[in-house]
Amino acid sequence: MNTYFNEITSKPINTNGSGTIYKIPAGAMCGNGDLGVVFDNDDKDLLIHISKCDFWKFTPGAHTDGGIKTVGCLRIGNVDLSEYNIKQYFDKGLLECKFGKIGMELFVAPENLIYFQIKAPESEEFPSIGIEMPDTCNSNNSEFTDNGVKCYLRKFDGKEVDRESAVILCCKELDTQTSDGFKTVSCCISAVTHFDDADYTKKGIELALQGDYERDKARTQEKWKKFFSASKVILEDKEIEKFYNSSLYHLAGCMGNKEFPPGLFGNFITDDFFPWAGDYHMNYNYEAPYYCIFSSNHPELFDGYMAPVNDMREEAKRMAKLFGCRGYAFPVSFGPKAYDVYSQADCKEHGILFLGQKSHAAYACVIPIMHWFSTYDKDYAIENYYDFVFNTAAFWEDHLVKQKGRYVIKNDAAHEIPYYRGEKFNSLTHIGQINTVNAINSLGLVKLLFSGIYDMAKELNLNSEKYPLWEDIINNLSDFPTFIKHGKKCFRYSKRGIRWRNDNTVGLQHIYPASQIGFSSGEKLLKIARNTYFINDRRLDDNGSNSYLPAGARIGVDPDFLIEGIRQNIKEFGLPNRLFRHHGGGIEHLTTIPATVNEMLMQSHEGVIRLFPCWDKKSAASFENLRADGAFLVSAENKNEKVTSLKIKSLKGRTCSVECSDIKCVIRESDKEQIPYIRNGCTVSFETQADATYILI
């Protein structure tokens, strides 16, 4: 079974009797990391929406008409959509379509060119091809032709925007051929914004004129072949394996612009009115799509993550001062280039939407800390995120309160306080939240933050004057609050404030993604974690399945429970195009299956590589080149309830520790030399060389 393939056999359904189901589109998709297309239709024509990660309207303030905007729409008429078939080839980046007698092929090339080829009977009217630009949100649109290239310009400018934005689509017919009674027309469409090139009009026309269908089809296929060769997971359940691969495909399809990473809905924008402006929500939504990329050995997808985070540094410094602290503090959300979607004059928090939470910048640090531990790339860390993590730690150095030898977090809500209600906000109904003490998610995030910056600084030989303070915070941060619920000891959402809520997974995010509880935590803490986990079933939680399921693997719940949760998500929320239609954002749920499966197959966050730690050993499974903390690539197979093969490549030459009682010998692959190791119970530790591979038998 080809698990890099998907077939769609009916027109996408995005509405029901009451109107739009939700904004997540159901039609076939294709993207190159920046430019994306989504198949759709109206009553008569085939529609292909075009969007780009860097096309936004920069209208300042919350609740404006700003946010990410669609670029345009390719309309293809004279097409019989009653017979509908689209084949998605994820490992080729290719869509093959059949609409009645009409065939169509489409792909998005690496250099922001959409190519499509239409094949139709000569005896019938050939499909019409046209491009439409939306005229909503007061955009300035124009059309012209230059050197045989049809050009469509969309722009937001004037006094209502803080920053001008413009995009051009340039369409050119490349070739027409006839054979065996069929006519085939090949076309390309370039998409260029003013962020791509100051002379974006000239650049767009040049790209279209230089279009070469076969050349760029080969380049596109080579790109996706290389992407999927970086790692591989093989499961008995091929439907889960298919969703694993398609999820990575869709994530890579919108994670490629190094200045404009994807917002809530990536680059599958189908109109100008996506919820929350399609912005960067910092209390988990922005971070969640990245949970799985390092363990899946795709650290390159992180390359754009820090751009909007670092662009906010001056604003973050100003906001920290509002709370009397140094360093960086974040609002609940923002856009690219420090775009303001957070100002609200009648908001009671300095006119800024913090929503009672101080943890947003700490949450933003989770992903670069994941990058650090999984790569130990010192130059990259210095260039991209050490400053941000360091200054976020500085905020918490000031904001933490030391009482009776323990560090306490005050006035930082576990859940959002609805200050966005403005003058209608009633503080009396939220008094407990306003005065929260020791929110459990913040405790986990802050513990990870200081553990991460301490490790970075020591490896980089920086800021040694901070080590004693950081050690003190790490060792003496308050314990996670607990309470008795249903007769069992469980984690409480906060020491003072919210005790519990039956939605979201805030009460478990100190386990995942903050990585503060695992198999090394001891049975007492693991029991509390498991009690909390099963207070109610969050596997289908709109906002939380992407952390609930991986957290279950971290604490060793029944693997069948997690696999069934994955199947339920596929059944309840899976769409024909292999997106997930949840309420809480768009692309964040693409991480659910890869992150969960990876954690079930291998864990390494506690400094020890654990193989199949939360897996039904009766079910065969294997993986190649999953990335472990310490910068190791691990390949292993579980067969007949045993680990039958194990290979580890060391990328940075660090000490490697593996928990596996069956290991009797460590052999360096290059020269077959046996490597000495130390055994401590079931754990084997040995020294490695950079770029050397080791076979453990």
Banded model confidence at residue 278, pLDDT cuts 50, 70, 90? very high
Q: Is the residue at 169 inside a domain?
A: yes
Please work out, in degrees rounded to the nearest 5, the angle formed at the alpha carbon of residue 536 by the alpha carbons of 531 and 537. 110
Q: Is the residue at 273 inside a domain?
A: no
Give pLDDT, residue 429: 87
Is residue 114 domain-shared with residue 204, that is, in the same domain?
Answer: yes
Is residue 203 domain-shared with residue 75, that is, in the same domain?
Answer: yes
202 φ, ψ (degrees, to nearest 5): -60, -45
Is residue 311 domain-shared with residue 407, that is, in the same domain?
Answer: yes
> How confident is the model over 417-475, as pLDDT tens digits?
999 999 999 988 888 889 999 999 999 999 999 999 999 999 999 999 999 999 999 99
Q: Is the pLDDT of residue 583 over 80?
A: no
DSSP labels for 564-601?
HHHHHHHHHHB-TTS-B--SS-SGGGGGHHHHHHHHHH
Q: Is the pLDDT of residue 167 over 70?
A: yes
452 phi-psi bin (left φ>0, alpha ψ -120 to 50, beta other): alpha
Nearest to 193 by CA among 49, 24, 40, 50: 50
Distance CA 218, CA 92 (A): 9
Q: Is the residue at 381 inside a domain?
A: yes
Q: Is the pLDDT of residue 516 over 60?
A: yes
Beta bridge partners of 634: 626, 648
Cis peptide bond upstream of 418, omega within 30: no
How much is the average pLDDT of 358-363? 98
Which of the listed residues 231, 248, 269 is the one where a domain comes to its end? Answer: 231
Banded model confidence at residue 109, pLDDT cuts 50, 70, 90? very high
- CATH number, domain with residue 222: 2.70.98.50
Nearest to 660 by CA among 647, 635, 643: 643
How much is the average pLDDT of 191-207? 98
Is residue 223 domain-shared with residue 312, that is, in the same domain?
Answer: no
What is the tally of structural domains in the chain?
3
Give pLDDT, residue 513: 98
Is residue 213 domain-shared with residue 114, that is, in the same domain?
Answer: yes
> How confident is the model over 542-567, as pLDDT tens digits?
889 999 999 999 999 999 999 999 99
Give pLDDT, residue 15: 63
Distance CA 681, CA 199 (A): 64
> How confident is the model over 378-401, as pLDDT tens digits?
999 999 999 999 999 999 999 999
Strands, sheet with 656-659, edge to edge from the N-terminal-most edge strand: 602-603, 609-611, 656-659, 683-686, 678-680
Please give the mean pLDDT across all residues of the chain: 96
10 φ, ψ (degrees, to nearest 5): -150, 160
Which of the listed residues 208, 231, 254 is the one where a domain comes to its end? Answer: 231
Distance CA 128, CA 265 (A): 30
Q: Is the residue at 71 inside a domain?
A: yes
Is residue 201 domain-shared with residue 97, that is, in the same domain?
Answer: yes
How much is the average pLDDT of 562-580? 96
Which of the listed residues 450, 482, 514 is the one where a domain comes to its end? Answer: 482
Print the domain residue range for 653. 621-696
How much is the average pLDDT of 129-158? 96
- CATH number, domain with residue 630: 2.60.40.1180
Q: Is the residue at 338 inside a domain?
A: yes
Q: Is the residue at 294 inside a domain?
A: no
- Percent of the chain, pLDDT > 70? 99
Is residue 182 domain-shared with residue 318, that is, in the same domain?
Answer: no
Q: Is the residue at 283 inside a domain?
A: no
Give pLDDT, residue 220: 98
Is residue 197 domain-shared with residue 66, that is, in the same domain?
Answer: yes
Is residue 218 domain-shared with residue 366, that is, in the same domain?
Answer: no
Is residue 328 domain-shared with residue 427, that is, in the same domain?
Answer: yes
> How confident is the model over 365-380, as pLDDT tens digits?
999 999 999 999 999 9
Nearest to 357 by CA among 312, 412, 399, 290: 412
How much is the average pLDDT of 655-676? 95
Distance CA 644, CA 662 (A): 9
What is the DSSP code (8-state) at residue 339? B
The pairing of beta strand 488-491 with beta strand 84-89: unpaired
19-28, 63-72, 346-355, 635-644: lowest mean pLDDT where? 19-28
Q: Is the residue at 177 inside a domain?
A: yes
Report the chain's C-alpha Rg in angstroms.
26
Give pLDDT, residue 503: 84
Q: Which residue has the tokens 């800021």?
A: 463
